[in-house]
């Protein structure tokens, strides 16, 4: 069996598989979403346990057998250990992990998702901002093939838009009455400028744009993009939603 040498992975979830082993869900730079059978990782003084803490970035030599990958050797690139000391950061990183686990098929390579996840966790760890939720959501939609066109469906206007959740479309002030449902979410011109700027800036720079929006406006935009994520990926809900509300990321 071939060995994938030096494969970079980010741990999304690790759960006990047996008395001494963990079943690990990870996103890999070149392999996509994979499952690693980490035999012996739960043993005292295990040499591989350090690779499988949630949100740890490692470079591993992996060998596949049937449905699982097994670790041959490796090194930790970034443990992101300090993240665990900030509950808000853990909630946000857990949201990243859950949306990827719920929306991505196994072993569909997408290097852009890997880098987005890596940079998002770094930003949460070292430059925390609630706008990171918005930045991640916008960018994740784009790299997953659902880049949003922030313009009116009818006339192409790009100012003061209204989002129709049922249609997953935007309407301008003049054409909003043509939407098929009553419930519309307004995004004003300033909010649209922030959204478009964040889309084209590094996720680590999200904090720079807090000064343009009130706290409630950030939560409002985060809530809209959470709805868009659920619609695009055909998800009813996420386990992390209650935590996102508790820590006031969303309304």
88 & 175 share domain: yes
Predicted pLDDT at 115: 97
Domains of the chain: total = 2
Last residue of a domain, one of 62, 79, 96: 79
28 burial (CB, 10 Å; 0-12 / 13-18 / 19+) is buried
Residues 27 and 74 in one domain: yes
- Domain with 156, as residue range(s), is 84-246
Classified as helix, coil or strand, 103 is helix
Q: Which domain-ending residue is among 48, 79, 110?
A: 79
**Do 69 and 98 belong to one domain?**
no
Residue 156 covered by a domain: yes
Q: Mark whether 156 and 241 lie in a shared domain.
A: yes
42 with 104, same domain: the answer is: no
- Phi, psi at residue 210, to the nearest 5°? -60, -35
Give the pLDDT of residue 180: 86
Tens digit of pLDDT at every position of the chain (251 positions): 578 899 999 999 999 888 888 999 999 999 999 999 999 888 888 899 999 999 999 999 999 998 899 998 999 999 999 999 999 999 999 999 999 999 999 999 999 999 999 999 999 999 999 999 999 999 999 999 999 999 999 999 999 999 999 899 999 999 999 998 778 999 999 999 999 999 999 999 999 999 999 999 999 999 999 999 999 999 999 999 999 999 999 99
User: Among 175, 181, 212, 217, which residue's Cα sits nearest to residue 197?
Assistant: 212
**Contact criterion met (CB below 8 Å) for 5 and 43:** no
Q: Residue 1's pLDDT is what?
A: 57
CATH code of the domain containing 166? 1.20.1440.120
Q: Where are the beta strands (DSSP E) in the chain?
A: 3-16, 22-28, 32-38, 57-65, 68-78, 161-164, 169-172, 184-187
Task: State the CATH number of the domain containing residue 67.
Answer: 2.40.50.140
C-alpha distances out from residue 148 to 12, 63, 124, 169, Å: 26, 38, 24, 9
């Amino acid at each position: 069996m071939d060995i994938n040498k030096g494969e970079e992975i980010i741990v999304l979830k690790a759960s006990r598989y047996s008395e001494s082993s963990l079943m690990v869900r990870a996103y890999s730079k070149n392999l996509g979403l994979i499952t690693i059978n980490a035999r012996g990782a739960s043993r005292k003084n295990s040499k591989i346990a350090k690779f499988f803490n949630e949100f740890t970035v490692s470079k591993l030599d992996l060998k596949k057998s049937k449905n699982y990958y097994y670790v041959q050797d490796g090194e930790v690139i970034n443990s992101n250990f300090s993240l665990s000391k900030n509950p808000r950061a853990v909630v946000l990183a857990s949201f990243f992990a859950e949306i990827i686990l719920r929306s991505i098929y196994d072993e569909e390579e997408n290097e852009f998702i890997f880098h987005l996840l890596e940079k998002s966790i770094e930003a949460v760890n070292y430059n925390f901002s609630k706008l990171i939720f918005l930045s991640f959501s916008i960018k994740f939609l784009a790299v997953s093939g659902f880049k949003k066109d922030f313009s009116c469906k009818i006339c192409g206007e790009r100012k003061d838009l209204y989002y129709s959740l049922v249609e997953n479309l935007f309407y301008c002030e003049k054409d909003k009455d043509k939407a098929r449902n009553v419930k519309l979410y307004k995004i004003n011109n300033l909010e649209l400028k922030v959204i478009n700027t964040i889309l084209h800036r590094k996720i680590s720079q999200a904090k720079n744009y807090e000064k343009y929006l009130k706290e409630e406006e950030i939560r409002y935009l985060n809530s809209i993009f959470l709805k868009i994520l659920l619609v695009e990926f055909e998800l009813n809900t996420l386990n992390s939603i209650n935590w996102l509300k508790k820590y006031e990321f969303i309304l």
